[in-house]
Amino acid sequence: MPKVAYSEEERKQIKEALIAAGLELMAGQGVQHTTVEQIYKKVGISRTFFYSFFSGKEELVVESLYLQQPRILAYVRRLMEDPSLSWREAVEKFLFDCCYGEKNGIAVLSAEDQQLLFKRLPEEGYRKFRRKQAQLFEEILTCFGIRADRKTVALFINLCLAVMVIRKSIPETLPLFVPEAVDETAAFQIRAIADYLEKQRPSE
């Protein structure tokens, strides 16, 4: 017989498990291919109980992306502190691993994911996400040793998301792009981003 009463601590643990399960599934198979059913079954609860925590998949997706942010920052710091990597190598490796997120346990939103998710988010939820997104990228730049003013952060966000979205969208969403050149395209864009960032570093 299923349990009918849970303490606040138990509910907190279940919610955290749902968010973690959602992130794991999305990182491996993408947001669109991750279903509510997959998430609640992975945690071992019912569909009805799932909806006592989240209004829908979109809310859980956003919470999973928030969970991912400190992990991304921790990864950046490890790369920047790795004595075997130059500054440039660490930056390019970080960008590459994010671009190929499904191979590295990092959830990356495709163009379709972004459209579906943010059409259904309330306005305040959208504003909160943008604030936290800007804060994440500002902290990444700081880890790179770059002064993170508002203009630089905005450009860095667009440059990073552009390479990730294009790489994930060829050929399904962008059928006129050449799929055989997708990896070379991503590598070129990553090098170009690193070039830009290197110019922003303070002169020693």
Tens digit of pLDDT at every position of the chain (204 positions): 455 678 899 999 999 999 999 999 999 888 888 999 999 999 999 999 999 999 889 899 999 999 999 999 999 999 999 999 999 999 999 999 999 998 888 999 888 888 888 888 888 989 999 999 999 999 999 999 999 999 999 999 999 999 999 998 899 889 999 999 999 999 999 999 999 999 999 876
Q: Count Cβ atoms within 10 A of the Cβ of residue 73 and give its class: 0-12 exposed, 13-18 middle, 19 or more buried.
A: middle
CA atoms within 13 A on the CB side of 24: 11
Query: The pTM is what?
Result: 0.89
Q: What does the domain layout of the chain look like in residue ranges?
A: 57-200
Give the total residue count for the chain.
204
Written in H, E and C, the secondary structure of 117-139 is HHHHCCHHHHHHHHHHHHHHHHH
Q: Measure the CA–CA gap between 57 and 143, rounded to whole angstroms.
A: 32
What is the CATH code of the structural domain delimited by 57-200? 1.10.357
- Measured CA to CA in angstroms, residue 25 lies from 11, 33, 162, 195 at distances of 21, 9, 23, 33
